[in-house]
Structure 1
Amino acid sequence: MFKKSSWEHLRIPFSYYLMPVFWFALSSATDVPIVNIIAVGVILHLFLYPSSNGYNSYFDKDEKSIGGLKNPKKVTIGLYYLSLVFFGIALIGALFINGIFFSMVLLYGLISMAYSHPSIRLKKYPYLSWLTAGVFQGAFTFAMCVIGFVDGSFSLLLEWKLLLPALITTLLLLGSYPLTQVYQHEEDKKRGDITLSLKLGIKGTFYFSAIWFLISGITFIWYFTHIDAQWAIWWFLGSTAPLVIYFYIWFTLILKDPKKYANHTMAMRMNKISSSVLNFFFIYYYFAQ
């Protein structure tokens, strides 16, 4: 039942691109048991995210490049069931951590299903899907990680020292999310999915993302100043410099020839650089505090 193509559509390596939020949440929590760090990391990156990838791939039925797969194979019903198996494993694992973490994993999974399921399909609503992805892959995931790390309650998330960095992660996602759609305009239009990037156009997507990257960068600097960790500002700026340079180069190429350079290869390279520099910074920040 579970063909090789179904396992490929889970896109487990793609979880690396979502890992910065995990490390930022860890660096914001205190006295986290090593077993919780490992458990939360495994549940999210090896089961929950792949489940979401597979489920959405099944209903999208993409014929051209998608995140993590340049040439996706035709999906089968086995992918649908495999994604549900992975979701079930994530939920069972979450139960062993605490009830609130389980509830948050469940909600994340259901929202991700609503993103592509034809009866709801949040993906076809440009601004709603943009906000949903930004909030749930950003602030909500940050909060979910913290709850899993420290076995706390929802009241913990109302503390400014955790609420603020959680919101900052959403700002960063609001900038990067439209770029993940920039090479899929033709296929999205064919399915009737008016994504935010399709609505903005290729050049408009880059202007839009540039504004949100600038806002999130300024907010990060303000945050580190606010918590009296000015030393982290220079590490943040130095670590993200390759990302800024690549985005600038890509943006310049887009202005010259949008159709030629708004492609899967350039977008995935952006994802790799972004996730790598942010993972490096947040891991360093965690150990350096």
Structure 2
Amino acid sequence: MLIGFAAPVSGSWATPETIDRVATRAEELGYASLWTFQRLLSPPDGSWGETYRSVLDPVSTVAYLAARTSRVRLGIAVLNLPFFAPPLLAKQLGTLDVLSGGRVDAGVGIGWADEEYVAVGADRRARGRRADEYLPLLRRFWTDDVVEHDGEFYRVPPTTMAPRPVRAGGPPLLLGGTAEPALRRAGRLADGWVSSSRADLTELGASIGVVRAAAEDAGRDPAALRFVCRGVVRVGERDKPLTGSVEQIRGDFADLAGQGVTEVFVDLNFDPSIGSPDADPAESLRRAEDVLAGLAP
């Protein structure tokens, strides 16, 4: 199973210097990937949690990571499709793929925060049907000589988009979501599935099974799909998977692989003592470097 690491994108340690240090060290230690996530806004009362109070934009951060690394894959888990017009997201992700030399993994989803939907002027109605139309259209901007589309939600006059991504067919699309329709959509239309930060890590196998079954029903090869687990890690007291000692966390990696997970990325941004705007950035980096070394592939 491939092991990745989440870049410092949330809280006080989300600085250029710290991102550079973590990315460089992760590449030196042989990690397979670096990851970011999207959060546009945060409620004033902090009810979404410490991690979401201060978050860097993931597209901009991946561009920075592309310039500071040479080997690791660069992932976003996830971008919310309704916040972008399809050609805008196709252009941004295609550009990242060019600038990174074909190293981008594009996690996408449909979002959950009402406040963000309202603020960007997106329509929550028929989100599933919108995603069904959006995903094939997104790929067409990376593959078709001329794109022309007149669908239920999106219309594109006959146009072209260049340059093409480095990777044939464009960056891999990994769909997020926990409801069965989202899981089945991943199996039908995406290159894989990425779990959420709130997923029950003892139940990922059931979700993976739904994705695989949907792929098979659609005439696709389930074995070709990727299954990425966001590993919300906390070293210290053990109370659930991916918490406790480094040895216990390594054992959890094996359990995840047994459930069908093909990749896991270690995410310390969700530890409030690291990913909070009030955390000591120097201490956050020190702890992160210990985890980087301890869980290195």
Bigger fraction of residues in helix? 1
Bigger fraction of residues in strand? 2
Q: Same fold (TM over 0.5)?
A: no
TM norm structure 1: 0.30
TM norm structure 2: 0.30
